[in-house]
Amino acid sequence: MTAIAPPVASARRRTKTRSEMRRSGWGRRGPLLPALVFTIIVTQLPFLVTLYYSLESWSLVRPGSQHFTGFSNYVQVFEDSQFRTTALNTVIMTVGTVLIAMLIGVGLALVLDRKFIGRGVVRTLLITPFLIMPVGAALLWKTTMFDPTFGFVNFILRPFGIGHFDWVSSFPLGSVMIEMIWQWTPFMMLLVLAGLQSQPKDIIEAAGCDGARPFAIFRELTLPHLRRYIELGVVLGAIYVVNDFDAVYMMTQGGPGISSANLPFYIYQRAFLGFQVGQAAAMGVVVVVATIIIATFALRLIFTSFSGTEQAA
């Protein structure tokens, strides 16, 4: 046996035998499997069953009435004007909530980025809305804030001549959106704050030396830097807001009529209140497909801006 050990580097480059490769492949894939398998079972199986139900006509009220109808459910879905309305509501709700929450979030993050007395306490106050139970928050806004007679919002607006206004009935979509924006702004704020604090200080100093005033620095340097954080916030926020059921259920029950119903609520109505399982299933499938298509584009955006190591200049 030679006394000289081979250097570590060349030991690593030694080509692996077939069995070693197979083993290392499993060694790498192994830890993945439990989570992957669990998720597949719990999420994909129901989805497959939902797909199956969507091809059936089935009313829960009449047991045994299941029968295969092919794509007729889907045809009904696309012909359903209410589906179109709620789809539009969903889009308005999602886009509006996410964009406004992000706008306010950027503003709040800029404030929190400065040093002032009690900054930590203010941050604590600002993240609280995110922690409140959604049904609780919806209830809160509906009763203590928006109530026509006793709500706080009307109290504030009384000096301006608006005394007794039923916000929830008059602006159902708007009221729900205000509640959602309130809940999601902290999330956006924290993401943007992380972005602000990750900006290297010497770049700001360099811009100062180069003659840039604070607003020019924000416009030319900070905003481009924040872009990836804003993108992430918008995409993640949208994924959650699109599926938000609690707010609509608690505040307006989708009403008046379906003016504030979003897709999750409408599907729920069909399934549990109308007992139309097949149709509800078809709607669910349509929503999934639409969301995946939209999200594929969006996520590709995030991955390109995140992939690879971004070296600081």
Partner 1 sequence: MATSQSITAQPTATSAAARRRRARRKRHGNSVTWGIVGWVLGIVFFFPVLWMVITSFKTEAGAYTNTPHIIFSPTLSQYRAVFDSGVWPYVANSAFATIVSTLLVLLLATPCAFALSLRPVRKTRDVLFFFISTKMLPVVAAIIPIYIAARDLHMLDNVFTLVILYTAMNLPIAVWMMRSFFLEVPGELLEAAEMDGAPLRRTVVEVILPVVAPGLAATALICCIFSWNEFFFAVNITATKAATMPVFLVGFISSEGLYFAQLAAAATVATLPVVLAGWVAQRQLVRGLSFGAIK
Partner 2 sequence: MAEVRYENATCIYPGAERPAVDELALAIRDGEFVVMVGPSGCGKTTALRMLAGLEEIDDGSIRIDGQDMVGVPSRDRDIAMVFQNYALYPSKTVGENMGFALKMQGVSKEERARRVRDAAKLLDLEDFLDRKPRNLSGGQRQRVAMGRAIVREPKVFCMDEPLSNLDAQLRVATRTQIAEMQRRLAVTTVYVTHDQVEAMTMGERVAVMRAGKLQQFASPTELYDHPANVFVAGFIGSPAMNRLDGTLAPGHIKVGEASITPPDAMLRNAQGHGKLVVGVRPEHLSLGHDGEFTLEVELVEDLGSDSYVYGHLAGDKESKIIVRSGREHPKPGEVVKVAVDSTRLHLFDAVTGERVGE
Tell me whether residue 98 is exposed, middle or buried, using C-beta atoms within 10 angstroms of its C-beta: 0 to 12, 13 to 18, 19 or more. buried
Structure-token pair, residue 106: 């950027």
Q: Rounded distance, CA 229 to CA 188, Å?
A: 9
Phi and psi angles of residue 40, each rounded to the nearest 5 degrees, phi first: -60, -45
Contact (Cβ atoms closer than 8 angstroms) between residue 254 and residue 267: no
Biggest CA–CA distance in the chain, Å, is 97
Which residues, numbered 96-115, are part of the site for partner 1 (CB under 8 A)? 108, 111-112, 114-115
Of the pair 41, 216, the CB lying nearest partner 2 is at 216
Per rule CB under 8 A, is residue 248 in the interface with partner 1?
A: no
Quick one: what does residue 118 bind among partner 2, partner 1, none, with the CB cut-off 5 to 8 Å set by partner type? Answer: partner 1
The residue among 148, 151, 146 whose CA lies nearest residue 178 is 146
Dihedral sign of CA atoms 122, 123, 124, 130 in order = positive
Per rule CB under 8 A, is residue 218 in the interface with partner 1?
A: no
Quick one: what does residue 87 bind among partner 2, partner 1, none, with the CB cut-off 5 to 8 Å set by partner type? Answer: none
Q: Of these, 110, 134, 225, 253, which contacts partner 2 (CB under 8 A)?
A: 225
Per rule CB under 8 A, is residue 29 in the interface with partner 2?
A: no
The residue among 271, 287, 289 whose CA lies nearest residue 279 is 271
Q: Of these, 132, 203, 204, 212, which contacts partner 1 (CB under 8 A)?
A: 132
Dihedral sign of CA atoms 18, 21, 23, 25 in order = negative
Phi and psi angles of residue 148, each rounded to the nearest 5 degrees, phi first: -55, -40
Which residues, numbered 187-206, are part of the site for partner 2 (CB under 8 A)? 200, 202-203, 205-206
Site string for partner 1, 44-83 (x = CB under 8 A): xxxx-xx--x------------------------------
Stretch that binds partner 2, among 38-46, 187-195, 215-223, 273-281 (CB under 8 A): 215-223
Quick one: what does residue 312 bind among partner 1, partner 2, none, with the CB cut-off 5 to 8 Å set by partner type? Answer: partner 2
Q: Of these, 65, 82, 144, 170, which contacts partner 1 (CB under 8 A)?
A: 144
Site residues (vs partner 2, CB under 8 A):
200, 202-203, 205-213, 216, 220-221, 224-225, 310-313
